[in-house]
Amino acid sequence: MKQPVLEIKNLNVDYGLGDNAVHAVREVHLTLHKGEVLGLAGESGSGKSTLAYGLTRLLPPPGIVAGGQVLYHAPSGDVVDVLRLSDSELRAFRWSEVSIVFQGAMNSLNPVHKVSTQLMDVIKAHEPGLSRDARLARARELLKLVGISADRLDSYPHQLSGGMRQRVMIGMALALEPQVVIMDEPTTALDVVMQRQILRQLVDLRERLGFSVIFITHDLSLLVEFSDRIAIMYGGRIVEEAEAHEIYRNPLHPYSEGLLRSFPALRGPKREVKGIAGSPPDLRSMPSGCSFHPRCPRAFEPCPDVLPILGPPDGYTLDTRTVACHLHPATIAVGAKEPVG
């Protein structure tokens, strides 16, 4: 039985208040299991980054979490709601339980401090008891973990290449051995060769250290290769969630299918590729019913009016596969089992 590490229940995130609020993330239910790589895919504006910031409470104003729960299952067995932590609890929680590698992480390092100073800073803040030598030893260990030789400790960020800076960031995210690492487009700024090296290293590290990963990217072909499960977001909602190879072999939602067919294949026979007609929806004026219906090639009568519920289609259970589409009506909605609150 897979153990959940992070359970997101009915999460809603708005930008702004009142009638003018933009609903960036709506009614998201998502469970991350131990040791799993969960991929979050979608176009820009689909709410995938907002979801990550919402669940770590890093949303910049005017973003607010409008409702829902984020339950974290600590290794000790305690369950805490991240959204209800006090400021000091949150400070202790962040980075030691859940860490995040930001989009364009190579520019997140402070240019005027050495790599060693920045790595030791993290450890110092969370484990003040450790001596300087012990911290230095730990920093050295971290660099080795991500495949950088320890003599780079005294380098400044500008002396490292983009790929090395990205590795330093990943090392820093692993400094306190968190249970969950969130990676927001961790490799978009890198070349394919470097991207592959870093992701393979991450997968190896996960096997050794046993953390779970939420991997956010718009590159679905990358996700299919590197993640266990994939959730696809559109217009702030999850429209399909399933195991990576199932999404790839047999996408049920027309949007997932469209995303998959947007990538020209490098190998095998040339198959016809076509993008998705239209452009991503404007969150300020979302289409009625299923928000994908104006772009959907298979939209039919209920789509413009009725919002499809996210649930398991025929032959699947809540744990294996869910989809929100009238073509594959669900009998039971995700999140319906538990009372919301």
Partner 1 sequence: MTVSATPAASTDDVVLQAVKLTKHFPVRRSASQLFGKSRAIHAVDSVDIVLRRGRVTALVGESGSGKSTVAKLLSQLERRTSGDIRLHGESVSVHGGRPFRQYVRKVQMIFQDPFASLNPTHTVRYHLTRSLRIHGNAGKSGADLQRALDALLTRVNLTPPERYIDKFPHELSGGQRQRVAIARALGADPEALLADEPVSMLDVSIRLGILTLLRDLKERLSLAILYITHDIASARYFADDTLVMYAGQMVEGGDSESVTQNPAHPYTRLLIEAAPDPDRIEAAEASGLAGDRAAGEPPSLIDPPPGCRFNPRCPYVMDICRVETPQHFVVGDSAGHWAACWLFDASIPKQPETHAPAVQA
Residues near partner 1 (CB under 8 A) = 43-44, 161, 163, 191-197, 200, 218-222, 224-225, 244-245, 248, 258-259, 262-268, 270, 273-277, 279-280
Token pair, residue 192, equals 């394919």
Pick between residue 132 and residue 271 the one whose CB is nearest to partner 1. 271
In the complex, the smallest distance separating the C-beta of residue 81 from partner 1, rounded to whole angstroms, is 34
Q: How far apart are CA 260 and CA 251, in angstroms?
A: 8
In the complex, the smallest distance separating the C-beta of residue 198 from partner 1, rounded to whole angstroms, is 11
Pick between residue 195 and residue 212 the one whose CB is nearest to partner 1. 195
Rounded to 10°, the helix 132-145/162-173 angle is 120
Pick between residue 103 and residue 117 the one whose CB is nearest to partner 1. 103
Pick between residue 119 and residue 190 the one whose CB is nearest to partner 1. 190
323, containing H or E segment: strand 322-323
Pick between residue 186 and residue 335 the one whose CB is nearest to partner 1. 186
Phi, psi of 282 (to 5 degrees): -85, 120
Say if CB 70 and CB 82 are below 8 A apart. yes
Q: How far apart are CA 281 and CA 234, in angstroms?
A: 9
For every residue of 124-135, DSSP letters joined together read HHH-TTS-HHHH
In the complex, the smallest distance separating the C-beta of residue 27 from partner 1, rounded to whole angstroms, is 23
In the complex, the smallest distance separating the C-beta of residue 106 from partner 1, rounded to whole angstroms, is 12
Pairing of strands 212-217, 180-184: parallel
In the complex, the smallest distance separating the C-beta of residue 224 from partner 1, rounded to whole angstroms, is 4
